[in-house]
Amino acid sequence: MVQEGELLWTPRAEFAQGSQIARYQRWLREQRGVETSDYATLWNWSVREPEAFWATIWDYFDVQSSVPYSRVLDTHQMPGCKWFEDSRLNYAEHLLRQEAIAPDATVFHHLSETRPLAQMSWRELGRQVRILATELRALGVQPGDRVVSYMPNVPETAIAMMATTAIGAVWSSAAPEFGVKTVIERFSQIEPKVLFAADGYRFGGKDFVRDAEVRRIVDALPSLQTVVWLPYLDPAAPPPSWKQMRRWGDLLSGPDVSPEQFRYEHVAYDHPLWVVFSSGTTGLPKAIVHSHVGALVEHLKLMHFHLNLGPKSVMFFYSTTGWMMWNLLLAALLTGSGIVLYDGNPAHPSPDFLWQLAADTGTTSFGASPTYVQMMEKAGLVPGQRFDLSKLEAIVVAGAPSTPETFAWFYRSVKPDLWVTSQSGGTELCSGFVGASPTLPVHAGEIQARLLGMDVHAWTDDGHELIDEVGELVVTTPFPSMPIKFWNDDGGKRYRESYFEAMETIRPGVWRHGDFIKVNARGGCYIYGRSDSTLNRFGVRIGTAEIYRAVEQVPEIADSLIVCCELPGGKFFMPLFVRLKPDAELDENLVRRINTKLREDCSPRHVPDRIYAVTAVPYTLTGKKMEIPVRKLLMGWPLEKAASRDAMMNPDAIDWFVRFAQDSRDYDWRGNAATSARA
């Protein structure tokens, strides 16, 4: 069994020295006189001298602005600081710069359950973006207007995003599997003028027609002036006869607009680029706004230095259009990299289907969530034996904490010379706080480093820094991709409450992200789940990821969820819920083995008070276990206040917990915590 922190891979000298970040370090030395002997010294300089660091990002990547910036940063006080004041630029213009360099190279490999694998060139992408942007202007879309999408992960959605941002309008996207209520909760906050909508999608061989859902969404958004209809499931079907309806094909049949004829809208440094939404598991989803300039400089840094992408790269990450990883996948275009767009079930028609796709597209960087990796591991898949993955260089695991076993599976089952990386950040920054460097070794379960320009630390509750111990993830220096605001958040009250209020009495202006993190002496990082779902027993804080790692190694366990409920008198109740594999039974023997595993791998404090078998574990639409809503249900909250069904991947899964919470009122655990685990 692999141990946490065990050395798994060291980069070859030619890989490390030829990386994007190594080239940047040489440029820093030659052009700026900044000597950085290794990643640690580079990171230290980037957070101690943020103005100097981010100015070099601007210069190194030759950011195009029609007006020079007056200063990099006006103040170190968060929130409210201003980045690259007075500059005027456009994010989409930078996404499409590669068109002028290699117009006939492939930018999109795209596949779905309704369409065969195909390619699109940079020239064709640029042509369609310019045509659609021109048509949007003709429809009256102005800079600052909101344009939204209810479409799958297909080229049309990416083209719509780039056309929208190219003219200075504000983009927002929801995946077509989102429920109507979820979409309306999001889009009604920002009052869109245009909606791009598809007639449905196919998943796992089954068609999901969304005509009726789109109609309900349109009816609930009085601000809409135009609906652009994409006949995706049935290209021959006539569009609905709505007054404001336009067909995608009709808009794209407009005259070509050459690069010389087209005018990108250069917008101010604080102009909104897009609105991304929090998961909305409780309460109204937060409408998080990023700027063109903030997203641009952050994504230039992230995609080049931390993912090591370039014009010869092909990046794949399994995502829907409702997750910020879709935005990041498109950000790979800033490097000249090609990307793979896939719409469908990742395990259809076979569990290793995505590896076939990686082989067919020459993927160099393969991304997925830990949940998908665990499914492959449990299925006994060995992709390296079945597919030609000779071009594959890197693995990007994101969306939830990764275990040492996840890392080891890649080296055992895919290929031994592989840069396996784990990342962690969030929708709030549309990027990562901690992640990868191609110049560093890979240790099992460990995120390689804090990302450049991200002044991340683990703190105690009273603001003391921790090394090799778990603490709150805080950021003490501003970063460009922090939200410029929440939409309709007068005075920034909700923004402050979300990320700054908890630290106000300790040190004002510190970002508290809500994750549990450990930073070790060499700079490696571990994320242990959300700190607001943290288990607290006898004053010791426990990350839920530690529990899951141990429990899900038990052969009979398919999935698990744990919460801790605080009770009167300083007591608590910590139940563990497990989904069993077929034919398994939660008997006394299995309970004993689970508890022994937790006691030996973790500590006696990790042993739950009781263990219950459930039919399913509830997940958000972005694949996160719904620990906080379940905890609230057990503490007596009604479902409508604890969670939103439309924000769930599997809404029926929450019903078991609703019944459990109701039935538990017959017991006395809320006042008398159990002292031993039993089925």
CB atoms closer than 10 angstroms to residue 117: 14
Between CA 85 and CA 96, with CA 90 as vertex, the angle to 5 degrees is: 145
Helix (H) or strand (E) segment spanning residue 311: none
pLDDT along the chain (679 residues), means of 10: 92 97 98 96 98 98 98 95 98 98 98 97 98 98 98 98 98 92 92 97 95 95 97 89 90 95 97 89 81 98 98 96 94 98 93 96 92 80 96 90 87 96 92 97 96 97 92 96 95 92 91 93 88 68 82 93 78 90 94 92 86 94 86 87 84 92 61 34
pLDDT of residue 675: 32
Domains held by the chain: number: 1
Distance CA 308, CA 231 (A): 37
Residue 347, Cβ neighbours under 10 Å: how many?
A: 16
Whether 585 maps to a domain, the answer reads: yes
What pLDDT, on a 0 to 100 scale, did the predictor assign at position 654?
94
Contact 40, 523 (CB under 8 A): yes
Q: How many CB atoms lie within 10 A of CB 14?
A: 8
Tell me whether residue 634 is in a domain.
yes
Answer whether residue 296 is part of any domain.
no
Instruction: For the beta carbon of residue 118, count every other beta carbon within 10 angstroms.
Output: 12
Distance CA 97, CA 511 (A): 34
Predicted confidence at residue 536, as pLDDT, reads 67
User: Residue 567: inside a domain, yes or no?
Assistant: yes
- How far apart are alpha carbons 130 and 143 in whole angstroms? 16
Rounded CA gap, 160 and 172, in Å? 10
Is residue 503 within 8 A of residue 512, CB to CB? The reply is yes
Lookup: tokens for 672:
């008398």
pLDDT of residue 521: 95
Cα–Cα nearest to 162, from 197, 195, 127, 192: 127
Rounded Cα distance between 146 and 191, Å, is 7
CA–CA distances in Å: residue 420 to residues 290, 414, 444, 668: 29, 11, 9, 47
CA angle 344–348–351, rounded 5-degree value: 125
Helix (H) or strand (E) holding 93: helix 91-95
Residue 583 in domain = yes
**CB atoms near residue 457 (< 10 Å):** 20
Site of tokens 């605080």: 566
What φ, ψ does residue 660 adopt, rounded to 5°? -60, -45
Instruction: Establish if 623 belongs to a structural domain.
Output: yes
- The CATH number of whichever domain residue 659 belongs to comes to 3.30.300.30
Residue 515: what pLDDT? 87
Tell me the pairing of strands 365-368 and 118-121: unpaired
* pLDDT computed for residue 544 by the predictor: 85
Q: At what angle are helices 20-27 and 39-48 packed, to 10 degrees?
A: 60
Domain containing 636 equals 535-666
pLDDT of residue 403: 82
Q: In this structure, is residue 236 part of a structural domain?
A: no
Rg, C-alpha atoms of the chain: 25
Per the CB < 8 A criterion, the answer to whether 481 and 294 are in contact is yes
> Per the domain annotation, does 568 fall within a domain?
yes
pTM for the model: 0.88
Per-residue pLDDT, 94: 98
